[in-house]
Amino acid sequence: MPLTVERSGDVTTLTLDRPEAYNALDPELRDAVLDALATAENDGTRCVVIRGAGPGFCAGMDLNSLTGQRGVEITERMRNSAARVAERLLGTPLPLVVAVHGACAGVGLTFALAADHCIAADSARFLTAFISRSLVPDGATTHLLPRLVGLGRAKRMLLFGEAVTAHEALETGLVGEVVPEDQLADVAAERAAQLAALPTQAVTLTKSLLARSFDIDLATVLFEERALQGLISTTADYDEGRAAFREKRPPRFQGR
């Protein structure tokens, strides 16, 4: 199988497992990722980690799967590949941790951009590579990248194919932290456990507000915040949070 799925407590870890192809996304791996995310959303998982096997995280789309295709065929393939992956990653209600080492290119960058927390090994390199293949960016890259690194840096990455090191990615906001590669798996597991211990519905609703934060006006934001605050106050985790505050102890959220 091109994807390894492991469950530990409330955390599900997805490992892209095509190391011989630098985990390039072919139809089989794409479907495996989509199916695994759908399963995680319905089996009690409270956080998902995505990482890559072998020497790098993900080299992008497997261009061999596009051989001989043009025009409408390419449009349809992209709709069913990069676009579907981006929509699924951005649409999941679960907190998403992405752990990147080595090369992270093309649609591989979409995983990093869609993460709620992206951790880079000091070996990580982020690049787009679309222009050098005479392609335009896909996987929502032109939507997500400028929001994280700014329009100027996004243009340099997309038009000139400028590679970004792990520490440069940290400075620009593309990733949340940089760690030695031999610590990447442990740190990702630690961050995932922290997110999984949070009140699940509050996390989901916060993600939904942040996802629309660039697209709605202040009045709408204030209205939705009030409405969602009322909704979250009906949950068991809300009661636990108040009880923990009164009793001066750490909360024990159950995701309900």
What's the CATH code of the domain at 133? 3.90.226.10
Single out the residue of 45, 22, 58, 47 nearest to residue 139, CA to CA.
58
Q: Do 185 and 212 have their domain in common?
A: no
Q: Do 129 and 211 have their domain in common?
A: no
Q: Do 176 and 223 have their domain in common?
A: no
Q: Do 35 and 77 have their domain in common?
A: yes
pLDDT for 150? 94
Q: Do 209 and 114 have their domain in common?
A: no
Domain annotation covers residue 210: yes
pLDDT for 57? 98
Beta strands in 60-116 (DSSP E): 96-100, 103-105
What's the CATH code of the domain at 216? 1.10.12.10
pLDDT for 134? 81
Q: Do 227 and 114 have their domain in common?
A: no
DSSP H/E element including 15: strand 11-16
Q: Do 185 and 231 have their domain in common?
A: no
Single out the residue of 160, 39, 172 nearest to residue 118, CA to CA.
172
pLDDT for 77? 54
pLDDT for 243? 94
Structural domain containing residue 242:
200-247
Domain annotation covers residue 253: no
Q: Do 134 and 95 have their domain in common?
A: yes
Q: Which amino acid is at 236?
A: A
Q: Do 84 and 119 have their domain in common?
A: yes
pLDDT for 51? 98
Domain annotation covers residue 178: yes
Instruction: Return phi, psi of residue 20, to 5°.
Output: -65, -20
pLDDT along the chain (256 residues), means of 10: 95 97 94 96 97 96 62 54 90 97 95 98 93 85 95 94 95 97 98 96 94 92 94 93 92 90
Q: Do 126 and 221 have their domain in common?
A: no
Q: Do 108 and 156 have their domain in common?
A: yes
- 19-30: buried (b, 16+ CB within 10 Å) or exposed (e) per residue? eebbbbbbeebb
Domain annotation covers residue 132: yes
How is residue 73 written in tokens?
A: 């065929």
pLDDT for 237? 92
pLDDT for 166? 98
Residue that is last in its domain, among 196, 217, 233: 196
Domain annotation covers residue 254: no
Domain annotation covers residue 256: no
Domain annotation covers residue 38: yes
Per-residue pLDDT tens digits for 187-219: 999 999 999 999 999 999 999 999 999 989 999
pLDDT for 72? 55
pLDDT for 67? 52
Look at the chain and report how many structural domains it folds into: 2
Running DSSP on this structure, what letter comes out for residue 20? G
Which residues lie closer than 8 Å to 168 by C-beta, 6 or more apart? Answer: none
Q: Do 41 and 159 have their domain in common?
A: yes
| Cα–Cα distance measured from residue 121 to residue 119, given in angstroms and rounded to the nearest whole number | 7
Domain annotation covers residue 255: no
Residue that is last in its domain, among 181, 196, 211: 196
